[in-house]
Amino acid sequence: MSGDETMPQYAILIYEKELPGGVADIPPEVMEANLAVGPKIEAMGARVVHEQGLQPVARARTIHQGGAVTDGPFLESKEVIAGFFVVEAADLDQAVAIGKLLPIMDGAVEVRPLMEV
């Protein structure tokens, strides 16, 4: 791919059990593995467009049809979206390979193509 072409973008959603102490409870080896992912993605010829951890679900609010607002996330489950990346990758296979770089403690990683705007 030449330097002028843009690659498709993919959301990589990280689902994990929420830890009582938040980021402070992430085992050091898991945090170290997370921090090592960026250079590996770059070495694959892909690019992180954005990455972000999320605050605890207790701080979330859900807006329902009709405007009612409730505390917490829309979906109730033992796993929560802990964070997400948006990456530019050659294709879905490469985006999945990037997702596999992330350490998974007790959840899963979802890779979803973004709509072009």
- The per-residue pLDDT for range 24-80, each reduced to its tens digit, is 889 999 999 999 999 999 999 999 999 998 988 889 999 999 999 999 988 888 889
Per cent of the chain over pLDDT 90 is: 69
13 has pLDDT over 80: yes
pTM of the model: 0.85
- The pLDDT of 91-114, averaged and rounded, is 96
CA dist list (Å): 100 to 13, 19, 103, 111: 12, 22, 8, 10
> For residue 3, what pLDDT is reported?
55
| C-alpha dihedral (62, 67, 70, 71), degrees to nearest 10 | 50
Nearest-CA neighbor of 10 among 101, 98, 103? 98
Residue type, 19: L
> For residue 4, what pLDDT is reported?
61
Residue type, 36: A
> For residue 109, what pLDDT is reported?
96
